Amino acid sequence: MSLARPLALALALAGCACMAGSAGAAQTVKLKVAFQPDRAGVRTTIELALRISGPGGAPPSPVTSLDLRLPANMGIATTTLGQANCDPVDLIYGGLRGCSANARIGFGDATAVVPVGSRNVNEKASLNALMGPPVEDRLEILFYVQALEPVFAQLVLPSVVLSDTQPFGEQLDTSIPLIQAWPDGPDLALETFVSTIGPLHLTYHRQVNGKTIPYYPHGVRVPRACPAGGYPFGAQLSFQDGTHTTAVYHVPCPPR
């Protein structure tokens, strides 16, 4: 995916790295967010990227939960994304072909690391975001992660969309299961998480007078009034070792 490389490089140049821990050594998290297009008042795609590092250059502790926080007045419910719902069971057994393409709301990739003796083995995975079935009248987003080597794994990470307090408007509350690299082996530790949420590279289809018509969904609208310091995004992560980390990033206000 074209977005992964520029955002991964951007993480080394910009973003907020924040640490906080309740036990053990804290992990470091860098968050980077961009809009495509980046203009006030237009519908856009949100590009999110996280990079996680352990203390002293060691692999991070495995992530057990990830809460992404979006600015006020940029709610996913205001979009036309996700014109179909994808059932997690269909996704596990049928992959992306098991769900309508109209359920997809974003693309990305992820990487993980597992220590093997004195060296680290890296795992790469594709990532797709899809609209899941409603949960108690709340939107649910499914992050479908598919890794092929060195460990084959297919994961569905359900994320419930919840309201949030100022300066945020919504949060995506995601639980992440622990995955062993091999039986009785160490758990995979998430290092990078990159995903879009929006219409970039998406095409939906609908039936009109017996014909299949392609169309493009609407993304979130960039508010015309930009808060002082930019549009705030946040990430709250919990780790297997009991530590917790928060990172905040402000997307700069677009030029007038």
Over residues 217-238, the pLDDT tens digits come to 999 999 989 999 999 999 999 9
Residue 215 to residue 192: CA distance in whole angstroms = 31
Residue 61 to residue 187: CA distance in whole angstroms = 9
DSSP conformation class of 189: E
- pLDDT greater than 60 at residue 7: no
Closest C-alpha among 30, 23, 156 to residue 86: 156
Q: What is the pLDDT of residues 108-119, one digit of tens each?
A: 999 999 877 778
Cα–Cα distances (Å) from 198 to 47, 65, 82, 142, in that order, read 8, 23, 10, 14
Total residues found in the chain within this entry: 256
Cα–Cα distances (Å) from 170 to 27, 49, 194, in that order, read 25, 18, 19
Closest C-alpha among 132, 135, 110 to residue 123: 110
Q: What is the pLDDT of residues 177-190, one digit of tens each?
A: 988 777 777 888 99
Contact predicate 221/42, CB 8 Å: yes
